[in-house]
Structure formats: C-alpha cells, structure tokens
C-alpha cells in the first residue's frame, strides 16, 4: 500500500456561489490550455481590475495606487497575526499574559501609526476599511463620508493618493 500511486484529489470546477468578487485567473498548471482556477478578489483588486483606480489627478498612476493599497493590506495583516497557533490557546491557564509581541508585528504597528499619522482622518478611515478590513469601497465611503454618493471611485482614488503620499513621507530621508 505504501507504494501505491496517490490519486490526485478532485478540484471543484468553481466556487459554490460565484459572485462578482470571483475571478478565474489563477494558473494551476504550466501546461498550455490548462484550466484556470478561481480566486476571490479583494475590494482593492476588484477596483483595480475594473479600472477604477485610473484617472483623477495625474500625480499617481493606477499601479501606484494599487501597490500602495496592497502594501497597506500586508502591513495591516501583519498587525493582526498573533504568532500563536490554536494549540497554544489550550495553555491559557498557564500563560503569563504579558508576553512580548513579535518584532515583525511591532514593526507593522509602528509603520501603520506612521502612515496613518500622515493621512487625513477620512482618508485613513477609508483605507483602513477597504484595504485593511476588506470592505467594499462604496459601503465604506458612504458610511465615512455620507456626502459622496455619486463619486465613489473618485473619492477612493483620493484616499489612495493620500496613502501613496504617506508611504513617500515614511521613507527615510537622505542625510545631507
């Protein structure tokens, strides 16, 4: 039995419920003509794919806005991980409670504070909701800025521009 060839597990043809947030663009095999796998797009990826990050002020490109949003999402995700697995929760009665945070998580918190300090309040809340928590831009903007009912994409671009500027400000300045 140990030498028996493993049968490849069957892959589902598609998600159980295909929503507009799904895209069939993942390559699962290097063979030409192989089917592509499904993946769920984040709200930022969906806005980028629809071309909503392009336009507006010409100071930043759609790619720069997308990259800034992706970088923020990675930093935000790093702040959310505890560095603990589920088996460690069994030791709650023996834990001391005041353990030190992993250095990467501490660095992520520091970077978020630096970025968010450089942004206006509404921009910070929009970016946090959409890029960090995965809210749909329209819902986040309507909740945060009730007066932006017709220009959701433009308002999201403004917030991403603010994030790009915050990243630029957070880079170490060359010494003279």
Across 122-144, average pLDDT: 92
3-state SS, residue 24? strand
pLDDT tens track for 91-123: 444 444 444 567 888 999 999 999 999 999 999
Element (H, E) at 22: strand 22-27
DSSP 81-94: --S--GGGGGGGGG
CA distance 68 to 60: 11
> Could you tell me if residue 54 is inside a domain?
yes
> Could you tell me if residue 86 is inside a domain?
no
Element (H, E) at 39: strand 36-40
3-state SS, residue 5? coil
Per the model's pLDDT, the better-predicted residue between 77 and 20 turns out to be 77
Where is average pLDDT lowest: 2-11, 32-41, 61-70, 77-86?
A: 2-11
Q: Is the pLDDT of residue 60 over 70?
A: yes
For residues 136, 141, 147 and 151, what is the CA-based torsion angle, rounded to 10 degrees?
A: -60
> Could you tell me if residue 18 is inside a domain?
no
> Could you tell me if residue 124 is inside a domain?
yes
Q: What is the pTM of this model?
A: 0.70
3-state SS, residue 42? coil
> Could you tell me if residue 94 is inside a domain?
no
> Could you tell me if residue 13 is inside a domain?
no
pLDDT score at 123: 94
| Residue 119: domain span | 42-81+102-170
pLDDT tens track for 33-58: 656 665 678 899 888 988 889 888 77
What is the tally of structural domains in the chain?
1
Total residue length of the chain: 176
pLDDT score at 171: 83
pLDDT score at 102: 79
User: Which is it for the CA torsion 145, 170, 53, 60, positive or negative?
Assistant: positive
Question: Do 56 and 157 contact (CB within 8 A), yes or no?
Answer: yes
């Amino acid at each position: 039995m140990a030498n028996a060839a493993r049968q490849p597990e069957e892959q589902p043809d598609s998600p159980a419920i295909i929503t507009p947030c799904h895209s069939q663009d993942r390559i699962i095999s290097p063979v030409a003509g192989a089917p592509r796998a499904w993946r769920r797009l984040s709200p930022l990826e969906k806005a980028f794919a629809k071309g909503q990050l392009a336009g507006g002020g010409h100071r930043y490109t759609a790619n720069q806005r997308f990259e800034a949003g992706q970088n923020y999402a990675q930093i935000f995700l790093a702040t959310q991980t505890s560095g603990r697995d589920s088996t460690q929760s069994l030791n709650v009665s023996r834990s001391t409670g005041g353990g030190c945070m992993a250095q990467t998580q501490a660095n992520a918190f520091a970077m978020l504070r630096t970025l968010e300090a450089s942004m206006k309040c509404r921009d910070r809340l929009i970016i946090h909701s959409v890029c960090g928590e995965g809210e749909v831009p329209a819902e986040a903007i309507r909740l945060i800025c009730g007066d932006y009912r017709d220009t959701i994409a433009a308002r999201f671009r403004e917030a991403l521009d603010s994030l790009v500027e915050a990243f630029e400000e957070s880079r170490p300045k060359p010494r003279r």
